[in-house]
Amino acid sequence: MKLNIIFLCLIVFSYACSNNTRHEKTNNIFYKRAYEHRDRRETDSAFFYFNKAKDQFIQDKDSLGAASCIVNMSIIATDGGDHFGGQELSLNAVPFFDEKNPEHHPYILSNYNNLGIASYNLKQYTKAIEFYNKSLGFIPDSTYALIVRNNIANAYRKNGEFLKAIEIYMSVLGQEKNAVNYARALSNFAYTKWLQTPDYNSSKELYQSLNIRLKEKDLWGQNASYAHLADYYLKKRPDSALIFSRKMYGLATKLNSPDDRLEALQKLIPLSDPRDSREYFNIYRSLGDSIQIARNSAKNQFALIRYETEKHKADNLLLQQENTKRNVWLISLAILIIAGSITGVLSYKRRTRRLALQAASAIKESQLKTSKKVHDVVANGLYRLMSELENDAKIDRDRILDDMEVLYERSRDISYDDVSLGLPGYDFQNSISNLLMSFATHDTRVVIVGNTSELWSELNQESKDNLYYVLQELMVNMNKHSKASSVAIRFERKADNIKVFYTDNGAGLPEGTIFKNGLTNTGNRIKSIHGNITFEEGTTGGLNIQIQFPVRS
């Protein structure tokens, strides 16, 4: 009933400490405009500019400025009848405060007081008590603390906790020096005492309080006293209750307090005669509708202001997001182009290096391949002819010339990568026999077993060529290094594999022997026809070599 006025006094006190100087010093133009409209009681415009000022303070990272705006908005909403909106706004302000900072205390006080008012008007009395108690820690003056404690007691009374309320009223009465505030506590104490014990005679305290208020010309206090006396006499002396209800209605009309008028009408309707009762009822219904419409309009108006502000912020945020997306897209495209260019340049350089390496590798491979062919075809071929000329006293001059012509043709064909043995009239059986026997001397006996035309009938030309050069390499190495007096070469076919067994009684392979180009090429040739070759020392000395490869590779 009178709580809004009481707390408006507290708000004026709180803001007198710092708010006025703050809005005069700030550069936030919206904040200054909000105060101009608030001072002229243009609540809608004040609410609008406080909302805009809050956003500006948040952008400037001024938490106290933002909190001050939210507190002002919450007070405007609560005073306009939008208690839920006022409660919500005050709760939103709490995270902005620093309770350890004295500069924040007046705003925190106003905020908790507003939460107490809103909760009380919503009949959330326990919450109201909680918020009033919190506000006590930020009140610097004991006079205002007594006012808050009086309202805590009122909340306990509304909650039906009469003993707690009476205890607080008595404490306030023992400390209160201000006549108006004393009268308020006294009237509340007497009224609560009567509620607790209906037989208790509260008339003395109630009249004492009314007389103080009449003397002090406290119209709001007089209005409260009339309400208490009307309730007190309702059953005991209905005529007196009617008189006080009429006085309350007249004073509430003078004070332009719709809530107090409604309360007075609620008392007058059952106390008046039927004709007056109907008239009061019609006024009550019309006034109630007007108040409800006004409060709904206030709620809608404040909600609309907040909605439009938030919508404007959302639209701006959406536009910023779209601009950000476009900028990100452009930057990404630029990065992609730059990265693509860098990647292209690096790729070109890597490709150039790779091609150069491949070319160098190809050249080296070609050189190695040519070197291998020269070694197998020319060097070993010449060595075989030299050995034959040296050891065969009855040399066949025409055959030697033929062999030299073949060697010449093969050496010339190296440049064309064609050194196949498959010349016209070529007989692989005889070729193998001539090759091996050309290394037979007076000191070295060569024995050949299993060299038949049927053995080689299904072998392809590549395998024949590779086998020929492998055998030639083995015989050259035997002649150069092993000093063998006996060499045996045996050929046989097992299923789809051809096996070659080489045995000599020479020096064998000394420990730690390293395979140089010749024997390395031998191994590579056998691998190229999917075969394998093994070297073992003989049980009685010499060397055993076994070669195996498929007929159809």
Residue with tokens 């009268």: 183
Of 85, 55, 3, which Cα lies nearest the Cα of 297? 85
pLDDT of 423 higher than 70: no
CA distances from 222 to 186, 194, 248, 327 (A): 13, 19, 8, 68
| Structure confidence by residue, pLDDT tens digits, 266-300 | 999 999 999 999 999 999 899 888 877 766 666 66
pLDDT of 489 higher than 70: yes
Q: Which two tokens stand for residue 195?
A: 């509620």
Domain boundaries, the chain: 1-140, 378-550
CATH architecture for residues 378-550:
2-Layer Sandwich (3.30)
pLDDT of 379 higher than 80: no
Once rounded to an integer, what is the mean pLDDT over residues 326-335? Answer: 77
pLDDT of 384 higher than 80: no
Does domain 1-140 match CATH 1.25.40.10? yes
Residue with tokens 């007497």: 190
Once rounded to an integer, what is the mean pLDDT over residues 374-381? Answer: 62
Q: What is the band of 471 on the pLDDT scale with cuts at 50, 70, 90?
A: very high
Residues 6+ apart with CB under 8 A from 65: 22, 26, 28, 31, 53, 54, 57
State pTM to two decimals: 0.53
Collapse the DSSP code of 537 into the 3-class scheme (helix H, G, I; strand E, B; otherwise coil) and give the result: strand
- Residue 48 sits at φ, ψ, to 5 deg, of -60, -50
Cα separation, 412 vs 377, whole angstroms:
10
**Please, what sign has the CA dihedral across residues 480, 484, 485, 491?**
negative
Pair type for strands 543-550 and 486-494:
unpaired
Cα separation, 479 vs 475, whole angstroms:
6
Once rounded to an integer, what is the mean pLDDT over residues 454-464? Answer: 91
Amino acid at 482: S
Chain-centroid distance of CA 514 in Å reads 63
Say what the pLDDT of residue 395 is. Answer: 65
Helix axes 3-25, 63-79, angle to 10 degrees: 150
Q: Which two tokens stand for residue 284?
A: 């009550």
Say what the pLDDT of residue 417 is. Answer: 52
On the 0-12 / 13-18 / 19+ scale of CB atoms within 10 A, 174 is: exposed
Pair type for strands 532-537 and 543-550:
antiparallel
Q: Which two tokens stand for residue 482?
A: 């092993």
Q: What is the band of 229 on the pLDDT scale with cuts at 50, 70, 90?
A: very high
pLDDT of 415 higher than 60: no
The full DSSP string for 247-279 is HHHHHHHHTT-HHHHHHHHHHHHHHS-HHHHHH
Say what the pLDDT of residue 381 is. Answer: 64
pLDDT of 522 higher than 60: yes
Give every strand in the sheet of 532-537, ordered side by side: 445-449, 486-494, 497-504, 543-550, 532-537
Q: Which two tokens stand for residue 19?
A: 């708010």
Pair type for strands 486-494 and 497-504:
antiparallel
Higher local confidence (pLDDT), 224 or 312: 224
pLDDT of 43 higher than 50: yes
| Structure confidence by residue, pLDDT tens digits, 108-119 | 999 999 999 999
On the 0-12 / 13-18 / 19+ scale of CB atoms within 10 A, 136 is: middle
Q: Which two tokens stand for residue 544?
A: 């055993």
Say what the pLDDT of residue 360 is. Answer: 56
Note whether 1-140 and 378-550 share their fold.
no
What mean pLDDT, rounded, does the chain reach? 82
